[in-house]
Amino acid sequence: MSKDLKITPVSEWGYNFGTPFIMAGPCSVESEEQVKETARLLSKYPFDILRGGIWKPRTRPNSFEGIGSVGLKWLKEAGNEIGKPVATEVANVKHVYEALRMGIDILWIGARTTVNPFAVQEICDALQGVDIPVLVKNPINPDLELWIGAFERLNRSGITKLAAIHRGFSTHEKSKYRNIPRWNIPIELKRRFPELPIVCDPSHICGNRELLREVAQTALDIGFEGIHLESHINPDKALSDAKQQITPETFGEMISILHSRESLEHNPFAENQLEILRGKIDSLDNYLLELLSERMDVVREIADYKRENNLAIVQPSRWTEILESRLATGERKHLTQKFIKELFHAVHKESIHHQTEVMLNEGKSEIEQK
């Protein structure tokens, strides 16, 4: 049990889900025929939850904003016909009441709603006393505390059947992804709340079909407990997010080649072997920190010299020389340029901090410096 959240394991939700558990279905429920045929074709392959969007939060008002409440009946009937629980997104109190009235089994809160604590709290108030699984997508911006806050609010309303959905984060950076994964954020969420299941949503991370398998497999390699994929009987004709949806047949092919990873809890031998290697990592990390500490000692000597000779802290030509030479050395040692840049930018920032401290001590008395 996690320290700050009360979480009911997925195995106790009342369903016989696989490991990992798979959510699949159309981005939007468009018609009774569309959702039922999609469900029927998906049922040929292993999956656990039929998902379908009923209300679609669109950036601009003149695009398809969902079929509305009438689609809940079609979604529920489609789930009943193939013997699967159904899930949909709720963004306000009206959505919650409509979904509960129609017997929707699982709810999720979307990224655009997670960013608004007022909206999340209203949903939580509407769910007070209701025993239903609720999944929470990460906020559109990379704010872990905001994401955690949604789980805390749901917990206070008595919801303990919780899971996170990682759907990536909006960015203005040029990227092959629609929403950059920033894997470090869900990994930190898992570190802080180990019992909280995390479901990856490759469809919204990628925004296209080509990268779905790569992202889904990465999530399983990291140890995510679920995968969330959008599927449509005719993706190119879909009324929303057409490029990221796949046919049920393509879904089946993809699921068949994904590999889930085993928890160390189920493999004591692997745990023992890893402990030996982790010991080596610990020793190397300690050595690395010693070297960084020694480097900063030299940096402070340089700062003393600059102060005595009235030189500026930042010398752009020297910084360029360091970065270029370290990138070249790192490449020879099979380290990525991105890693080397981030590492030495961090080292440079820390160096400036130390040099600034030395400079600020200029002219202070010994008592003030102490």
Residue in 79, 251, 75 with CA at minimum distance from that of residue 89: 75
Candidate CATH numbers 3.50.50.60, 1.20.59.10, 3.40.47.10, 2.40.40.20; the one for domain 268-369 = 1.20.59.10
Question: What tens digit of pLDDT does each residue of 137-170 get?
Answer: 999 999 999 999 999 999 999 999 999 999 999 9
The residue written with tokens 């569309």 in the block is 34
- On whether the CB atoms of residues 234 and 272 are closer than 8 A, the answer is no
Helix (H, G, I), strand (E, B) or coil at 53: strand
The residue written with tokens 């008595």 in the block is 158
Specify the pTM: 0.84
Q: Distance from first CA to last CA of the chain, Å, rounded?
A: 46
**Mean local confidence (pLDDT), 252-276:** 82
**Mean local confidence (pLDDT), 321-344:** 95
Q: In the structure, what pLDDT confidence band is assigned to residue 3 with cuts at 50, 70 and 90?
A: low
Question: What tens digit of pLDDT does each residue of 212-244 get?
Answer: 999 999 999 999 999 999 999 999 999 999 999
Query: Above 60 in pLDDT, residue 285?
Result: yes
pLDDT on residue 365? 47
- On whether the CB atoms of residues 109 and 132 are closer than 8 A, the answer is no
pLDDT on residue 149? 97
Q: In the structure, what pLDDT confidence band is assigned to residue 66 with cuts at 50, 70 and 90?
A: confident
What is the C-alpha to C-alpha distance for residues 102 and 154, in angstroms, rounded to an integer?
Answer: 21
| Percent of the chain residues topping a pLDDT of 90 | 86
Helix (H, G, I), strand (E, B) or coil at 25: strand
What is the C-alpha to C-alpha distance for residues 260 and 20, in angstroms, rounded to an integer?
Answer: 7
Q: In the structure, what pLDDT confidence band is assigned to residue 2 with cuts at 50, 70 and 90?
A: very low
pLDDT on residue 70? 95
DSSP 8-state secondary structure symbol assigned to residue 41:
H
What is the C-alpha to C-alpha distance for residues 47 and 252, in angstroms, rounded to an integer?
Answer: 9
- On whether the CB atoms of residues 51 and 61 are closer than 8 A, the answer is no
What is the C-alpha to C-alpha distance for residues 226 and 260, in angstroms, rounded to an integer?
Answer: 10
C-alpha to C-alpha distances, 66 to 26, 55, 69, 182, 247, nearest whole angstrom = 12, 5, 9, 29, 20
CATH code 3.20.20.70 for 10-261: yes
Segment of 62-66, 190-194, 258-262 carrying the highest mean pLDDT: 190-194
- On whether the CB atoms of residues 125 and 97 are closer than 8 A, the answer is no
Comparing 363 with 340, which gets the higher pLDDT?
A: 340
| In the chain, domain spans | 10-261, 268-369
Q: What residue type is 311 in one-letter code?
A: L
What is the C-alpha to C-alpha distance for residues 90 and 88, in angstroms, rounded to an integer?
Answer: 7
pLDDT on residue 188? 97
**DSSP H helix total and E strand total for the chain:** 14, 8
Query: Above 80 in pLDDT, residue 58?
Result: no
C-alpha to C-alpha distances, 278 to 172, 273, 288, 292, nearest whole angstrom = 37, 9, 15, 21
| Cis, bond preceding 57 (omega within 30 deg of 0) | no
225's CB contacts (< 8 A; 6+ apart) are 10, 19, 20, 21, 163, 197, 198, 199
Comparing 65 with 191, which gets the higher pLDDT?
A: 191
> Which helix H or strand E contains 229, and what residues bound it?
strand 226-230
DSSP 8-state secondary structure symbol assigned to residue 15:
S
**Mean local confidence (pLDDT), 14-43:** 97
41's CB contacts (< 8 A; 6+ apart) are 233, 247, 248, 249
Other beta carbons within 10 Å of 175: 12
Residue in 131, 134, 137 with CA at minimum distance from that of residue 116: 137
Beta bridge partners of 51: 87
Residue in 315, 272, 232 with CA at minimum distance from that of residue 35: 232
Mean pLDDT of the chain: 93
Q: In the structure, what pLDDT confidence band is assigned to residue 257 with cuts at 50, 70 and 90?
A: very high
**Mean local confidence (pLDDT), 283-289:** 95
